[in-house]
Structure 1
Amino acid sequence: MNQANVISDLIIWIEKNLEQPLSIDHVADKSGYSKWHLQRMFKKVTGQILGTYIRHRRLTHAALALRLTSKPILDIAMQYRFDSQQTFTRSFKKQFNDTPATYRRNEFWDPVGLTPPIELNKTQFRLPEPTFMDFPQQVFWGVTYKNNCSLNELLQHNAILRKQFFVDYLDKYFKNNAVLPNEVYSFSQIYKGKEHFDEQEVLYTIAIEDNNILDNAEKYISQGGLYLCFKYIGPPSDLVDFISQIYFAAIPMLKVKLRHGDTIEIHHNHSNLTSVSNLTEIPLVECDYCVPVIMKDDD
């Protein structure tokens, strides 16, 4: 097995074990190499230092937990293997320029410091240049779905819901013999779970601008505001990875902060769909993925 494959398999294992002991000795034992040889190999293949990478990934997960859950800070520190809240605070502030408590309380979310996982064997998207769009407040008509999930399941869970909801929604269209509009909107929001402090409540609304087609459609008001939009054209299976790179690679490089509001997906060009079964046959998805932001200068 070549070095890239060895390191790729090791990174996958690290990602699944961020809440377990991951000293260099632990990782070396897993790899079967001496810790000196493993560290040299990791740096050669990835360009990063193994211990630093593990710490940055743990702190990234901790940052997500601070913003997206109500889990106590000490519990988050222990979950990601920091020996005390003081040690956690010191490391966290070095990476994110804020203490964990301040990071959680801030009205706007500064993504600088979030570190993406290394994925050597996956296609690296060449993200398109984003565009800023100022959406007006607007009335839509649609169906809202709600579910709970854990932090680790969030992106994949959202993808499952997206597919399920589109099937349900399109089924209502076709039963009414309606022509699907060129643009279908989805609005999603994530809230901290009310029953379990380490869960999120996901609200996902599929909607259109016309109220004359769907039965039981409810009014949905999008509050609008400034959005950073990324164009995606590709297979449905790659959309989750595309979204992940938006948050972990693209947005931290820009002078923006995330604000509360709907994340908007605008799905285009559905004229070729004539039945729900066609949904599984779509070779390409074309959508604008739009994230609510403010400019840092406006903070």
Structure 2
Amino acid sequence: MDAVKKALWFIESHSSGPLTLGDVAEASGLSRFHLSRVFPEVIGHSVFAYLRGRRLTEAARALADGAPDILSVALDAGYGSHEAFTRAFRDFFGLTPEEVRTRRCLDNLPLMEAIRMSDLPAIKLPPPVYRDIGAMLVAGLRQYYTYDARAGIPAQWQRFNQFFGHIPGAVGRSAYGICTAASPDDQNGFDYTCGVAVRSLDDLPEGFVGQRFPGRRYAVFAHEGHVSKIGSTCAAIFSEWLPKSGKKAAEGPLMMIEHYDERFDPKTGEGGVEIWVPMQG
């Protein structure tokens, strides 16, 4: 997880000053878009959630040590006022800064400790194959997720599976999980669509959306394990393979497509999944 390790080092080394997602992405060697996707898969929190938690944890330590000036602690944590700091601190810990300073201890506080880079998981990623895939029309259910709330995706698939096999104009027996940027400036989450290829985007079931994807080349990776572990494969693709490959993912809102063919069993989550990463050129 080289890119994530670089991002963690940069955050820990620069957390006391102004920090943007672009700064962290540049240090990691990934684009903002790809870092926003891979960091939560490995760490369990978005870049900004991790940074916020680390800053508030260090602020709590300073307060428990009896810091005399709460505003100074707030400024060091990146907050411009006592009020904004108190709100964020209370939301995170369930106590006010004054209460922690009075207690003089950190017992039972949900601290976010620095993640040791040696503790990050590692998986063996088979090399991809490259596949030219023609233009596709996809119809399905789309939902927005913050990077910290992506655990809701299986429930979205459960809703979609009620329609599978009954969608007008469906092509083949494959299903697709499509990750796209909600907007170019969104650093907090992404759109995820559970869908199938269709011949036309007319007469879709109520609540469905249609998406058009031009023909392009994809790097295709095989995820052979249980579908619940797909995040580890995605993390290895974007944190290890992509920076080292000398290749570039395509620009644009489409980040990747999960391809579930006839081998995949939605009841057990077994059978394997392909991960398609759109490439430049």
TM class by smaller structure? 0.5 to 0.7
Give the Å deviation of 1:55: 6.1
Q: Pick closer, same or farther for the CA change 1:81–1:286 going to 2, 3 Å.
A: same
Matching residue within 122, 134, 152 for 1:160: 152
Separation in 1, partners of 2:27, 2:231: 29
Q: Pick closer, same or farther for the CA change 1:119–1:184 going to 2, 3 Å.
A: farther
Q: Give the match's secondary structure for 1:230.
A: strand
Separation in 2, partners of 1:143, 1:129: 30
User: Paired residue for 1:287?
Assistant: 273
User: Paired residue for 2:252?
Assistant: 260
Residue type at the aligned position of 1:146: Q
Q: Is the 8 A contact 1:130 1:228 kept in 2?
A: yes
Matching of residues 10-21 of structure 1 within 5 Å: none
Matching of residues 162-241 of structure 1 within 5 Å: 163-173=154-164, 181-192=172-183, 199-209=188-198, 215-216=205-206, 218-241=209-232
Q: Give the match's secondary structure for 2:15.
A: coil
Where structure 1 has 5 or more consecutive residues not aligned to the other structure, the ranges are 1-47, 63-76, 98-102, 274-278
User: Paired residue for 1:136?
Assistant: 134
User: Paired residue for 2:105?
Assistant: none
Q: Give the match's secondary structure for 2:230.
A: helix
Aligned residues between the structures: 195
Q: Is the 8 A contact 2:221 2:274 kept in 1?
A: yes
Separation in 2, partners of 1:55, 1:121: 12
Q: Give the match's secondary structure for 2:272.
A: strand
Residue type at the aligned position of 2:258: E
Deviations 1:84-120 (A, max 9, x none): 67xx97x9867649xxxxx76xxx9799xx9x77465
Q: Is the 8 A contact 2:259 2:273 kept in 1?
A: yes
Q: Give the match's secondary structure for 1:257.
A: coil
Q: Is the 8 A contact 2:133 2:216 kept in 1?
A: yes
Separation in 1, partners of 2:223, 2:174: 14
Give the Å deviation of 1:202: 1.9
Where structure 2 has 5 or more consecutive residues not aligned to the other structure, the ranges are 44-116
Task: Tell me, yes or no, if structure 1 residue 57 matches structure 2 residue 16.
Answer: no
Residue type at the aligned position of 1:260: G
User: Paired residue for 1:83?
Assistant: 17
Separation in 2, partners of 1:208, 1:145: 14
Q: Give the match's secondary structure for 1:172.
A: coil
Deviations 1:145-172 (A, max 9, x none): 12241x4x2xx60x532x2232112112
Q: Pick closer, same or farther for the CA change 1:166–1:205 going to 2, 3 Å.
A: closer
TM-score, normalised via structure 1 length: 0.50
TM-score, normalised via structure 2 length: 0.53
Q: Pick closer, same or farther for the CA change 1:210–1:95 going to 2, 3 Å.
A: closer
Residue type at the aligned position of 2:278: P
Percent identity over the alignment is: 11
Residue type at the aligned position of 1:257: K
Separation in 1, partners of 2:171, 2:134: 23
Give the Å deviation of 1:203: 3.9
